[in-house]
């Protein structure tokens, strides 16, 4: 059986993106999943000077090894000032130093949500532009605007957005 990793591009303990990633993974029919927490992969701020003078950080090495175990990825990105959250970007900068194809040319479903009406659309667009250069086979995207209005009792209450996610997850699962 195929197995994927679902995670948020956030280190918030109350991450709405982690909730969305886990919910999406829970829609898989014939695939198992793990929900990863970026807090388990601590790394210093990336710099070439630090890299030259120190060993490769254990958190980056561990995350790199963890990614090898999966057949695909569901990622929901937090949007901070129109871009990736700093912790997410930093970890991926470190990981890419050892394996430029961070996502191992495997299927990736990229998502975003936010409390606002754009639902993280700007960070989602950034990911669509950069993830393929990091070894992502982006097979689907999804955005959920107004998270707190449409995600209640651990489910999406907007029928159209729920159906859209279900269809997107189904297509992702077919690509595994």
Read off the CATH number of the domain in which 98 is found: 3.40.50.360
Domain count, the chain: 1
Rounded alpha-carbon distances, angstroms, from residue 165 to 12, 24, 97, 99: 23, 7, 33, 30
Burial 118-133 (b: 16+ CB within 10 A, else e): ebbbbbbebbeeebee
DSSP-derived pairing of the beta strands 83-84 and 151-152: unpaired
Three-state DSSP at 64 gives helix
Which residues pair with residue 142 across a beta bridge?
A: 111
How far apart are alpha carbons 70 and 54 in whole angstroms?
Answer: 29
> Can you give the pTM of this predicted structure?
0.97
Rounded alpha-carbon distances, angstroms, from residue 64 to 11, 12, 104, 107, 156: 17, 21, 10, 17, 32
- Walking along the chain (176 residues) 10 residues at a time, the average pLDDT comes out as 97 98 98 98 96 95 97 97 96 95 97 97 97 97 98 97 98 98
Cβ contact 143:113 at 8 Å: yes
The confidence score (pLDDT) of residue 44 equals: 97
The boundaries of the domain holding residue 135 are: 2-175
The confidence score (pLDDT) of residue 46 equals: 96
The total number of residues shown for the chain amounts to 176
Tokens found for residue 80 = 């901070």
The confidence score (pLDDT) of residue 163 equals: 98
């Amino acid at each position: 059986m195929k197995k994927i990793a679902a995670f948020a591009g956030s280190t918030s303990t109350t991450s709405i993106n982690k909730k969305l990633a886990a919910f999406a993974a829970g829609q898989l029919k014939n695939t198992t999943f793990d929900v990863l927490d970026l807090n388990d992969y601590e790394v210093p701020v990336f710099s070439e000077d630090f890299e030259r003078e120190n060993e490769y950080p254990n958190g980056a090495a561990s995350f790199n090894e963890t990614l090898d175990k999966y057949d695909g990825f569901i990622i929901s990105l937090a949007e901070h000032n129109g871009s990736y959250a700093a912790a997410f970007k930093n970890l991926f900068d470190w990981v890419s130093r050892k394996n430029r194809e961070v996502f191992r040319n495997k299927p990736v479903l990229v998502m975003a949500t936010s409390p606002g009406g754009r639902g993280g659309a700007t960070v989602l667009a950034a990911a669509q532009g950069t993830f393929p250069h990091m070894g992502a086979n982006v097979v689907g995207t999804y955005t959920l605007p107004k998270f707190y209005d449409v995600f209640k009792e651990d489910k999406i209450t907007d029928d159209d957005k729920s159906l859209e996610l279900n269809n997107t997850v189904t297509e992702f699962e077919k690509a595994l």
